[in-house]
Amino acid sequence: MRILRLFFIHAILLSIIDAFFRIPLTRHPTNRTRPYAYRGKFSRVTLGGWSENLSNFINYIYFGPIQLGTPPQTVTIDFDTGSDQFWTTCNCAAGDIVAFLRGEPNYCKSHRRIFNPNRSKTNRKTSSPFSVTYGIGYVQGTVMFDRVCIPGVRHCSSAQTRVGCASYTDSAFRNAPGDQDSDGLMGLAYVYGTMGRSPIRSIFNRSNCKRKIFAFYLNNSGEKERSEMTLCGTDPAHHRGKIRFLKVAKSSYYWTLTLDRVYIRSRVAWARSSSNAILILAACVGCKCPNLTFSLNGHLFTLPGRYYVQNCVFLIFPSSEFSRFPGLGANWILGDAFLRRFYSVYDYAHGLVGLDVRA
């Protein structure tokens, strides 16, 4: 999941009304490092909130549709729990000077659905600069304000929602010809219990959403059930038993849980006071690896080897061993390798992450 850094682990894990809304997610291979996606229809209604379906392609990234402006224009976006900014490709010609100065093409123009602010009567442009540097990828443009809506159910944020008009995107956000990929990114980070600048908070408040939560069900390649994101409720059809809610560190920007130990079978392979990722690799035979069990906030979650090894690539490890980012210490990032096994729920109002084995 690109994305989809879904949660950091220390571990960092990015209304009860009559229905919850669904956002369909499509999974797609990419050279980026974020995870959620879109394809197809999206307005199935069930108990507890709203949902959007997510589709899967080669277990790589997921993105989904949102609507921006008045009248609404549909764009596809990554949902990223590792950031709180929302941006979409927009006014690409203005980014050409940035591309010239950086010495590479402006890949804003590679996207199929580019938002046109001139066609939205609720759009307010500004000259304020906007830019985001990701672990892989960079975007730049200006700030604008408009409303953001969930397709199919018409639950919208305020028209004063901050949106980045990304007129320049580098090669990390390039869409290859014929590829279906995202046109922007919506941050869903915890941000000390506020969700920061994410439009989701405004959508929650304006839709009388009594459960200010969102959840992800991510399928595996070849499965018929669609991946999806739900808002304002959970779908019991997507998990096997009772969701265990774990407390998020209040002082964290990310959805951060306490990771006590990682086990291989009954053996401790990693603990907070050690850096023994090599033990996990040593336990693999060829490309077949044993189950990993993570102790998160004192609860055990077991991940079969087929989830964290794909095409002989190891997908999960402590960031203190391999991260390019200083200061993370002994943290693990559990992305889609973990979340394809567990249904995950994010409750920013109460500072909780919920997990249960995926149905």
Structure confidence by residue, pLDDT tens digits, 124-164 = 999 999 999 887 889 999 999 999 998 866 689 999 999 99
Cβ–Cβ under 8 Å, residues 135 and 14: no
Give the model confidence (pLDDT) of 255-308 as tens digits. 988 888 888 877 887 776 554 455 666 678 778 888 989 999 999 999 998 888
In the predicted structure, residue 5 carries a pLDDT above the cut 90: no
Query: How confident is the model over 166-175, as a mean pLDDT?
Result: 90
Give the model confidence (pLDDT) of 307-344 as tens digits. 888 777 777 666 554 444 444 445 777 888 898 999 99
Q: Which residues contact 174 (CB under 8 A, 6 or more apart)?
A: 31, 107, 110
**Ranges 89-98, 142-151, 282-291, 348-357: which has the least confidence:** 282-291
**What is residue 326's predicted lDDT score, i.e. its pLDDT?**
41
**What is residue 26's predicted lDDT score, i.e. its pLDDT?**
78
- Per-residue b/e over 94-128, b at no fewer than 16 CB within 10 Å? bbeebbeeeeebbbbbbbebbbebeebebbeeeee
Query: How confident is the model over 57-66, as a mean pLDDT?
Result: 65
**What is residue 279's predicted lDDT score, i.e. its pLDDT?**
60
By CB atoms closer than 10 A (0-12, 13-18, 19+), residue 64 is buried
Cβ–Cβ under 8 Å, residues 235 and 51: yes
Query: How confident is the model over 14-18, as a mean pLDDT?
Result: 34
**What is residue 30's predicted lDDT score, i.e. its pLDDT?**
43
Instruction: Decide: pTM greater than 0.85.
Output: no
In the predicted structure, residue 2 carries a pLDDT above the cut 60: no
Domains of the chain: 16-235 (2.40.70.10), 237-357 (2.40.70.10)
In the predicted structure, residue 53 carries a pLDDT above the cut 70: no
pLDDT band at 61 (very low <50, low <70, confident <90, very high): low
